[in-house]
Chains A and B, each alone.
Chain A
Amino acid sequence: MTRQMTGARMVVQALKDQGVEVVFGYPGGAVLPIYDEIFQQNDIRHILVRHEQGAIHMAEGYARSTGKVGVALVTSGPGATNAVTGLTDALLDSIPIVVLSGQVPTFMIGTDAFQEADTIGITRPCTKHNWLVKDTDKLAETIHQAFHVASHGRPGPVLIDIPKDVQFATGTYMEPATARVSHYQPRMKGDPEAIAAMVEMMETAERPVFYTGGGVINSGLKASALLREFVAATGFPITSTLMGLGAYPASGKNWLGMLGMHGLYEANLAMHGCDLMINIGARFDDRITGRIPDFSPKSKKVHVDIDPSSINKVIRVDVGIVGDIAHVLEEALALWKSRGSKVNKDGLAKWWKQIAEWQAVKCLGYKGSAKVIKPQYALERLEALTKGMDRYITTEVGQHQMWAAQYLGFEDPNRWMTSGGLGTMGYGLPASIGVQVAHPDSLVINVAGEASWLMNMQEMGTAMQFRAPVKQFILNNERLGMVRQWQELLHGQRYSQSWSESLPDFVKLAEAFGCKGIQVTDPADLDDAIMEMIRYDGPFIFDCRVEKHENCFPMIPSGKPHNEMLLGDADTQGVIGAKGAVLV
């Protein structure tokens, strides 16, 4: 059956056929035909953002919290360039999104036309793949391919640039089932020999540790379930990167907490001291490894990743397994069971004893205060008062993000949305809206710093318009806290440009947007205020005034190995050498 329709209608039809329910976007000249089609249908909901960067982060939040592909629609020129930060963010965190951008008509490309930009050229390095569609007959197939590429293999952002004349012209629609996607088929099943090698190492290891990452969450719910089963069956300790939180529950018996630059003492020392490291869906990011030559020097390393280029990129491993995590875990678990479910019990008992000593250090301890709100305390109270609720957390970027990762517990995957790889300030507010759109009845909280939050605060308008009752929990220290911390530690306490002056009155700001705000300065008022925020039916801005000079610990200074962590302010004098200073 061939169906003739305009390119613009094709876009909407293809999105419907891909199961898309919501599109985040902003209209403009080069996408008017598509907006005209959106107007004439009711199957796809359109969320009008206030800035295209917001649209991309919303699509990311939607994708990360549902496991589906997020979709954004932007116009040519500035619409597309505003999307670049979000695309890069999604690329570094492997978030599957499809971005549709308008383009000037094909016959005007290259003439420096109004709102023309070389969108394909600009977004080539920040997408997994992108396409310029010059022929309406190829438009539907390209959109189907785009969904395939975004969601298969290592997920990522893709962009389709659609000139305006292609949207107006009539062509033949192609169904998803007939679209040619055959040549992009990443390997799903791991090499059986490599899996066997991993299982053998697991049977004898004295000091094993699972080191898991965002790949487990990207692989799907089955991967998390298998991981939990494997950890429970082996009794191995498990730690996770920032991106992987929730794949294994924070209340789980074998949980060591997050690892990395601001990870827990026990997690980092377990990584440093292990004799078998099993990396599942993480990528040896520099925030994890610290100084490469000193990274877990005595361990054998196994790395499971769907992206072959991740293996041996930074850290040389003994066994590399390319494949989808759920597939690999399933086969590894079956093989391990069929060989008798063996582990080195004596070794493990000693290892857990050692870990218990590290845990006894209580690295997340901090000095409490009855006068000012400590940011850690605010998050402990938020955790206590929202635990057990149907809760999703997003964050901005900085100290508050690390504290949120440390003090909030995640019991399930897809509940934690944060900008890990790119570290995009301004991510959390729009991401929280994307999450709320996907989960309208859930509690969605953006843990923010005031500086990050201001970067995309215009999206409060979106939250109001679409009745997304997102809670903005702003830890306001009137500082760019993480920048300030680094300046204290390695730039002689010269706090260059790292304070927030002329801040808005957040309560009045909330009122100006038509929602509710509250300011809290006294720790005694905190619990009631948090409950008020949770109960409020609508968007809410919580201006939580916290200690201004609190530093985020534990911390592995740049250029240092895992066993040289700082646990508190007393440890910080002269800790970062000139070499470390360069590493950021």
Chain B
Amino acid sequence: MSPLNIKKSASSHSAYELRDPNAPVIETHTLAVIVENEPGVLARVIGLFTARGYNIDSLTVAEVDHSSHRSRITVVTTGTPEVIVQIKAQLARMVPVYEVHDLTVEGPSVQRELALMKVAGRGEARIEALRLAEIFRAHVVDSTLESFVFEMTGTPEKIDSFAELMRPLGLREMARTGVAALSRGL
């Protein structure tokens, strides 16, 4: 999926069900993988996905507990239910992996992504971009007479929608962090 396109398989943007009812069910899952923060651990996890032909839609990683050297890898992946189960089992058996959580099935979760978008324009387009940014609660973090850089946080879908609107108004460049996710409640 290109970051500026709406997902082809998603039906939420259409009045009709777009998926082939006979095609294997492809699900999107968000996995939180708690790993030992050792050198090469990210390469190991990514290598597993490429070697076994799994998809990575989005990936973020950072150390979350400095004292115990734990990093959290949040990976959004797609596949049939069987493949998703297999991905989790393959991740869980890796030596530096402590825990694998499937946030998609373990109850409700919060998912957020941060995006920076550079929109160039003058006159009405520029005003329209600013107006839409307000509606989407995007902040202006840089401005010149000919451009804005918007910062917005939200679900990947919200960022997709905003990007779609900005495109005709002069979207030049975009940077996205990928999804960070936590389960709701305790």
Interface residue ranges, A against B (CB under 8 Å): 120-121, 124-125, 128-129, 132, 149, 153-154, 183-184, 186, 307-309, 311-313, 316
Contacts and interface: CB of A to CB of B under 8 A. Distances in A.
A312 B82 CA distance: 8
A500 B63 CA distance: 56
Interface string B73-111: 000000000100110011011111010000000000000
A124 B93 contact: no
Interface of B: 36, 39-40, 43-44, 47, 51, 82, 85-86, 89-90, 92-96, 98
Contacts of A309: 86, 89-90, 92-93
Nearest to A145: B95
Contacts of A316: 82
A189 to B, nearest CB: 17
A410 B47 CA distance: 39
Nearest to A186: B93
A293 to B, nearest CB: 14
Contacts of A132: 39-40
B128 to A, nearest CB: 49
B39 A149 contact: no
Contacts of A125: 47, 51
Nearest to A184: B95
Contacts of B85: 312
Contact of B47 (A124, A186, A312): A124
Contact of B92 (A121, A308, A311): A308
Contact of A120 (B40, B92, B96): B40
Listed residue (A120, A121, A149, A308) with the most chain B CB atoms within 10 angstroms of its CB: A308
A128 B39 contact: no
Contacts of A183: 36, 98
A313 B43 CA distance: 23
Contacts of B43: 121, 124
A313 B47 CA distance: 18
Given A124-B40, A124-B44, A132-B39, A313 B86 contact: yes
A123 to B, nearest CB: 11
20 contacts: A124-B40, A124-B44, A129-B96, A132-B39, A153-B93, A183-B36, A183-B98, A184-B95, A186-B93, A307-B93, A308-B89, A308-B92, A308-B93, A309-B86, A309-B89, A309-B90, A311-B89, A313-B86, A313-B89, A316-B82
A125 B40 CA distance: 12
Contacts of B94: 129
A316 B94 CA distance: 22
A522 to B, nearest CB: 51
B34 to A, nearest CB: 11
Nearest to B82: A312
Question: 9 nearest interchain CB pairs?
Answer: A309-B89, A129-B95, A308-B89, A309-B90, A184-B95, A309-B93, A125-B51, A149-B95, A125-B47
Nearest to A127: B95
Given A129-B95, A309-B89, A312-B86, 14 more contacts: A121-B40, A121-B43, A124-B47, A125-B47, A125-B51, A154-B93, A183-B36, A186-B93, A307-B93, A308-B92, A309-B90, A311-B89, A313-B86, A313-B89
Contacts of B44: 124
Nearest to A308: B89
A154 B94 CA distance: 11
A128 B44 CA distance: 11
A284 to B, nearest CB: 13
Interface on chain A toward B: helix, strand, loop, or mixed SS? loop
A125 B49 CA distance: 11
A138 B89 CA distance: 30
A228 B139 CA distance: 71
A196 B24 CA distance: 33
Contacts of B82: 312, 316
Nearest to A307: B93
Contacts of A153: 93
Listed residue (B92, B93, B94, B96) with the most chain A CB atoms within 10 angstroms of its CB: B93
Contacts of B39: 132
A77 B17 CA distance: 55
Nearest to A134: B39
Contacts of A184: 95
A53 B89 CA distance: 31
Listed residue (B40, B47, B96, B98) with the most chain A CB atoms within 10 angstroms of its CB: B40
Contacts of B86: 309, 312-313
B143 to A, nearest CB: 41
Nearest to B39: A132
A307 B86 CA distance: 11
A121 B39 CA distance: 11
A153 B92 CA distance: 12
B43 to A, nearest CB: 7
Contact of A128 (B40, B90, B92, B95): B95
A442 to B, nearest CB: 35
B3 to A, nearest CB: 28
A313 B39 CA distance: 29
A128 B36 CA distance: 16
Contacts of B90: 309
Nearest to B44: A124
A120 B39 CA distance: 10
A128 B85 CA distance: 20
Contacts of B40: 120-121, 124, 132
Nearest to A153: B93
B85 to A, nearest CB: 6
A128 B95 CA distance: 8
A121 B43 CA distance: 9
B47 to A, nearest CB: 6
A362 B63 CA distance: 63
A312 B87 CA distance: 12
Listed residue (A121, A128, A132, A309) with the most chain B CB atoms within 10 angstroms of its CB: A309
A370 B96 CA distance: 60
A124 B59 CA distance: 20
B40 to A, nearest CB: 6
Contacts of A149: 95
A125 B36 CA distance: 18
Contacts of A311: 89
Nearest to A306: B93
A308 B43 CA distance: 22
A42 B72 CA distance: 46
A389 to B, nearest CB: 40
A154 B39 CA distance: 23
A132 B43 CA distance: 14
A141 B40 CA distance: 18
Contacts of B92: 308-309
Contacts of A186: 93
A154 B92 CA distance: 13
A313 B86 CA distance: 6
A316 B90 CA distance: 16
